[in-house]
Amino acid sequence: MKPSAELIAFAKRLGHDFQHPELLIQAMTHSSLSSATRGDNQRLEFLGDRVLGLAISDALYQKDTAASEGQLAPRFNALVRKETCAEIAQMISLGDALKMGRSEMISGGRRKMAILGDAMESVIGAVYLDAGFDIARALIVRLWSDHIENAADDARDAKTTLQEWAQARKLPPPNYTEMARKGPDHAPIFTIEVRLETGQSASAQAASKRAASQEAAADLLAQLESET
């Protein structure tokens, strides 16, 4: 089975010439389209997740030789989490070539964070099987280069920092409230407000409650820093 024109174009955006194109086809086939004769990308996702983890661990270890395990761990988590994988997938327009069932496609599957993140891991697994770890690692380092460079900043957990700020001043933990949700079910936008007992607050919007909460906490921390 030969890859479609969309898959060939995607492989060029990815920057890898597959010697075994059936691996690319499998990596880009969502479970909503799988059948007895055509597998999906879930096994490759499992493999790619482990390949990504090793490649990112190595990149962080080599980049900052003075960083402790306690500093490296949150950076690693920020780089391999599903949201980051989905960002990379969006960067190379992975969703445009993803093969999925009609109902999933109509519901906006090509833009769903979880689907894009899983597919990105599947593609990494396919590259690993096609060409080996060194090639897969080079591809990961290239695609994740900006994120790796900014890993220390990306790893900052604003919610934890804000809670520690409140505890240090003997205040109750910050309170997070969902103020609004808009948009279709497949692409919702959440508005989350964080408020301290002192009355200081901030709000933010994002495609997930987790992201909106983190952004709101970061905005409130910025306010607090400007007041000192």
Is residue 170 within 8 Å of residue 183, measured between CB atoms? no
Residues 6+ positions from 196 with CB-CB distance below 8 Å = 166, 171, 174, 175, 220
The DSSP element (H or E) to which 103 belongs, if any, is helix 102-106
Residues 6+ positions from 28 with CB-CB distance below 8 Å = 7, 10, 41, 94, 97, 98, 99, 119, 122, 123
Is residue 48 within 8 Å of residue 124, measured between CB atoms? yes
Is residue 64 annotated as a catalytic residue, yes or no? no
Is residue 121 annotated as a catalytic residue, yes or no? yes
Identity (one letter) of the amino acid at 2? K
CA 157, 160, 162, 168 dihedral sign is negative
Query: Which residue among 118, 121, 193, 215 is the active-site one?
Result: 121
Query: Which residue among 45, 49, 87, 215 is the active-site one?
Result: 49
- Cα–Cα dist 228/94, whole Å: 45
Q: Supply the residues annotated as catalytic.
A: 49, 121
